[in-house]
Structure 1
Amino acid sequence: MEQAAGGENVKSYTLEQVLSAALRQQQAIAVWRLPLQTEVQACISFAPQTTSTIPELESSPAGFLFCPFETEGTHGHIFLQADIHYSALTKQLNTGTDAPAAQVSLFTEALNQTENGKPYAWPIPANPARHSDRNEENFKAAASLAVDVIRAEAMEKVVLSRTSTIPLPDAFSLHKAFEKMCSAYPNAFVSLVAIPGVGTWLGATPEILVSVDQQQLFKTVALAGTQPLCEDGSTANAIWRQKEIEEQGMVERYVLSCFKKLRLREYTEVGPRTVIAGNLMHLRTDFKVDLKEVDFPTLGTDMLRLLHPTSAVCGLPKEPSLRFILDHEGYDRSYYSGFLGPVNSEAGTHLYVNLRCMQLLQHEAVLYAGAGITGESSPEKEWQETKHKLQTMGKILSEF
């Protein structure tokens, strides 16, 4: 049960005030907006919990999950329990029932002492990795090697990614960047996560991993295949090559194989259809399970553990493609292509793959993008695909 923070006289606060207070007090904060929604929400956590494995969703308190690409790597799975929840619609704070009263009180005090909108430093990693951006030649060489390995039948598909590090504009503002993402990408899950010692990430991802809404409807998607948006901005004239159709088919089969492992037969499948994500189009198939009719209370956690990392961010089969990524990608993905989202909120649990994202360092932004390599891939086209994907976050930075 939540209660309004700040006692009898319930005060209104802007998102900018809440974010500034969290940064000033060095508290962990997650801010998000679900696709096709207007409400922006935030949760502040006074004691983020880090686990080495994917936590159980069903028994979890309300909060926000932020998890890495590698399930058993050096980066932890971080859960931000919602000690304080904020909605930009009501402009009010609500306190979690077991939130520490002294810290809630300090936080509301900090909120009421906003110092002329002075910006505060966002958290950067305790040990920032040096991102040596792969140049075109290196990326294409890795993609070409992947094609050879796939044609030798050692794997079916692998997703290779790269980073692009660019200086932050002088006028950059964390709060304004989040607002710009919300208006530019209404169909995406838009997020801002700032955790002391871990870092600060911004993103606008098109890909749902696992969701269970208030109506107990479980959803996941198979999303793959990429091409630039048609000039008329519609999907009517989209023409897909065999390579993209096959790539998306692999992700579909992967989702179905997870259902099969759980002996789940009662699901609906719609697609594939063409969907728009920012300046790109993808092929997408939607899967749904009605948990009111199917007795499977742990389906959310079970599917999450089977799905991640999906073939849309890792490859098929999972083990050889993951090994190829770790051996040939040339950098640590950290939380890129991991997953994130609210857990057991009033709207349910909604976890998304952390794509189309950037990590903020002190004076730079690290942008991330990947491309699915199959036996039909052209390294040149895959390089171009990563360039198109980098534009999602690049566009936001260019507006400052």
Structure 2
Amino acid sequence: MEQAVGIGGETGGHYTLEQVLTAALRQQLAIAVWRLPLQTEVQACISFAPQSTPAIPALEPSPAGFLFCPFETEGEHGHIFLKADIRYSSLTGQITTAPDAPATKASLFTEVVMQSEIGEPSAWPIPAKPTRHADRNEETFTAAASLAVDAIRAETMEKVVLSRTSTTPLPAGFSLLKAFEKMLAAYPNAFVSLVAIPGVGTWLGATPEILVSVDQQQVFKTVALAGTQPLCEDGSTANAIWRQKEIEEQGMVERYVLSCFKKLRLREYTEVGPRTVIAGNLMHLRTDFKVDLKEVDFPTLGTDMLRLLHPTSAVCGLPKEPSQRFILDHEGYDRCYYSGFLGPVNSEAGTYLFVNLRCMQLLEHEAVLYAGAGITGESSPEKEWQETRHKLQTMFKILSEF
């Protein structure tokens, strides 16, 4: 039985997210803070000893915690698991310690939480080895997109997702907590997250795309999400008109999900869509897939689908191998944890892993923002550049509010 740690180690106590975040930063502990789409509860987990593995870990036997994984499955960046040694819920204001968490560290953390409103908050962690970022201008990005269109028309691949970075100075008065709170308010439909891991770095994001989830009712879900256009002026999806390029792009992602089911010989699933959904200032086409694990004997479906899906055709391309090779050869920077995946594992609500899109990485004085666009044989490189500009606005909007 877990015990809520309060003042003096007794059950009880009521803390703010600011106290919990400040205490974690002050003690240089790894912390993940998140809110699931359309929920009000903000949750956090603090890990005393983050684990890094070279491959995607199995979900089902995992203790409760938070996964933070890179774009490249077998690259230089590790798949990081934060075991939930300490958990926090904004609904109760309590912090809860896991039974196997080191008692001395848990007790010290509680003491620091109680004092954490005193003084300035500590700096957020930055990478031990800064990754290569080379912001592309319109000319160099559209040149790479043109190369991609030529490769697709030559039938070396069907689709590739090219991304770029935009590095901007952090505004005066920037606050990690306030930025997270601004994202919560601006993007209620998104998975909003803040991940700060010593030696790895600090990331903020508001992603619309679920990769894999298994809820309390043992229902597995994934989505096919692709196609992008600015939100209609009236803010509704009723007048959305999709071009053939976007319909085909979404169809590719859908077929990719179905091919993964086929590899696992899974036939019992439901499919709903495609339909138009809103994500911040954008609209996308989305198809939902669902499997009831109470009716289908497939206990490892979450892990098996995760390993087959990632990186999805929505962030990489089709077929996976040639498109990923094109990205590594022509994108011009290290994606690191952008377009990887993240989320809570085996929490009380279940497992919810999202693609790390609409995000930024915080450096000491700068923010690195990320955005990508799906290139097909029908693509206009100039329109793909505009799509990345629209997507970058999700995080620029947050920074502009300081």
TM-score, normalisation: structure 2: 0.99
For 2:3, the equivalent position in structure 1 comes to 3
Q: Work out which of the residue numbers 338, 351, 375 in structure 2 matches 1:349.
A: 351
Gaps of 5+ in 1: none
1:161 aligned counterpart, secondary structure: strand
Which residue is 2:37 aligned to? 35
Match 2:299 to one of 297, 310, 313 = 297
Q: How many residues align?
A: 400
Secondary structure of 1:368 counterpart: strand
Deviations 1:177-209 (A, max 9, x none): 101000100000000000000000000000000
- Which whole-Å CA distance do the structure 1 matches of 2:278 and 2:105 have between them? 43
Give the partner amino acid of 1:170.
A
Measured against aligned partners, the alpha-carbon deviations of 1:290-316 in whole angstroms (never above 9, x if no partner) come to: 000000000000000000000000000
Regions of 4+ moved over 6 Å: none
AA at the equivalent of 1:185: Y
Name the CA distance, whole Å, in 2 between partners of 1:9 and 1:134. 53
* Whole-angstrom distance in 1 between the partners of 2:141 and 2:187: 28
Distance 1:230 1:270 in 2: 23
Q: Distance in 2 between matches of 1:2 and 1:279?
A: 41
What corresponds to 1:107 in structure 2? 109
Q: Secondary structure at the match of 1:98?
A: coil
Contact kept? 2:3, 2:11, Cα under 8 Å: no
Determine helix, strand or coil for the equivalent of 2:123. Answer: coil
The corresponding residue for 2:167 is 165
Q: How far off its partner does 1:8 sit?
A: 2.2
From 368, 376, 379, give the equivalent of 2:378: 376
Match of 2:127 among 125, 128, 136: 125
In structure 1, C-alpha distance between the alignment counterparts of 2:32 and 2:11, rounded to whole Å:
26
Distance 1:8 1:319 in 2: 54
For 1:343 and 1:190, how far apart are their aligned partners in 2?
16
In the alignment, which of 229, 232, 235 is matched to residue 233 of structure 1? 235
1:130, distance to aligned residue in structure 2 (A): 3.8
Q: Which runs of 5+ in 2 are unaligned?
A: none
Paired position in structure 1 for 2:319: 317
Q: 1-side partners of 2:276 and 2:119: how far apart?
A: 43
TM-score, length basis structure 1: 0.99
Q: Residues of 1 paired with 2:3 and 2:38: CA distance?
A: 28
For residues 114 and 220 of structure 1, the distance between their equivalents in structure 2, rounded to whole angstroms, comes to 39
Residue of 121, 139, 142 corresponding to 1:140: 142
In the aligned structure 1, how far is the partner of 2:111 from the partner of 2:379? 56
CA distance in 1, matches of 2:333, 2:353: 25
**Structure 1 residue 3: deviation in Å?**
1.3
Shift of 1:114: 2.0
Output the CA distance in 2 between the equivalents of 1:64 and 1:47.
12
| Greater mean alpha carbon deviation, residues 104-113 or residues 49-58 | 104-113
For residues 17 and 276 of structure 2, what CA distance do their matches in structure 1 show? 34
One-letter amino acid of the structure 1 residue matched with residue 73 of structure 2: T
- Alpha carbon RMSD of aligned pairs, Å? 0.7
| CA displacement at 1:115 relative to structure 2 | 4.5
Residues of 2 paired with 1:218 and 1:89: CA distance?
A: 26
